[in-house]
Amino acid sequence: MSAREVQSFLKHSPVFASLPAREIETLSAVVSEDSFRARDFVFMEGDPSLSLCIVKSGRVKIVRHSRAGKDVVLELLGPGELFGGVAVIEKRPYPASAQATEPSVILKLPADAVIGLSERYPTVIKEMALMIGRRLRDAHDSVKSLAVDPVEARLAGTLIRLGEREGTRSRQGLTLPFHLTRQGLADMTGTTVETTIRVLSRWQKDGLILDDGGRLILTDLESLRALAQGEEA
């Protein structure tokens, strides 16, 4: 990725969009680019926060490891999304792990450069706070759902949230722009992969979703929303 391409990529991020061109140029000069295979870890929970990371391509899931050995997926991030930034600003270890779910390219901004930038331009902190606020609201909804909602409601709510955030609309319905494994969906909704497979298979038979080569298409949003609210489809 050329320096000009990195500058353009950073400029399109809400966190850095308001920075002067000279600051973008300076920042782009210290950015590194790393490639990861599916299931590779970008960093592990507890690692020192050496970099703020941005997904250039691919997908990364943010994962906490429970004492019982089960992974809890907190976020699924796509191109242009940042992660690890709060730990960098607070100078503390990463509070969760980041793992590629498919072949991914990650841009890494050194901690010192990010901290210095945030001190000169408070808008960086403001935009990061807004980003974290949105993610916290999503996390709150997910935790609440895990506590009180049945499995079908959790699965339907997760698919709708992902689809409305990143999906593309067509005559068939709302298509998720990435391959979401049954195990990944199970981890995001606090259920087993066997239950996830069984529920999605039934939804396919009922015409609520389609599986187009591994990409899910939400064909009946009204029924899925009813399920997410605990109603019968």
- The pLDDT tens digits for 88-100 are 999 999 999 999 9
The sign of the dihedral angle between the CA atoms of 115, 116, 122, 123 is negative
Length of the chain: 233
For 166-221, how does the pLDDT look when each residue is reduced to its tens digit (9 = 90+)? 788 888 889 987 788 888 888 888 788 899 999 999 999 999 999 888 789 999 99
What is the C-alpha to C-alpha distance for residues 202 and 162, in angstroms, rounded to an integer?
A: 20
Q: Is residue 66 very low, low, confident or very high in pLDDT (cuts 50, 70, 90)?
A: low
Helix (H, G, I), strand (E, B) or coil at 171: coil
**What does the DSSP 8-state code read for residue 95?**
S
pLDDT at residue number 232: 56
Amino acid residing at 105: V
Helix (H, G, I), strand (E, B) or coil at 13: coil
Written as six digits, the tokens of 184 are 């990944």
Tell me: pLDDT of 82 over 60.
yes
Give the fold, CATH level 3, of 3-122: Jelly Rolls (2.60.120)
What CATH number was assigned to the domain covering residues 149-228? 1.10.10.10
Helix (H, G, I), strand (E, B) or coil at 61: strand
pLDDT at residue number 4: 84
Q: Where in the chain is the domain with CATH 2.60.120.10?
A: 3-122
Non-local (6+) Cβ contacts of 215 within 8 A are 175, 176, 177, 178, 179, 180
Burial 52-65 (b: 16+ CB within 10 A, else e): bbbbbebbbbbbee
For 106-164, how does the pLDDT look when each residue is reduced to its tens digit (9 = 90+)? 999 999 999 999 999 988 888 888 877 776 666 656 555 555 568 888 899 889 888 88
Written as six digits, the tokens of 233 are 């489809």
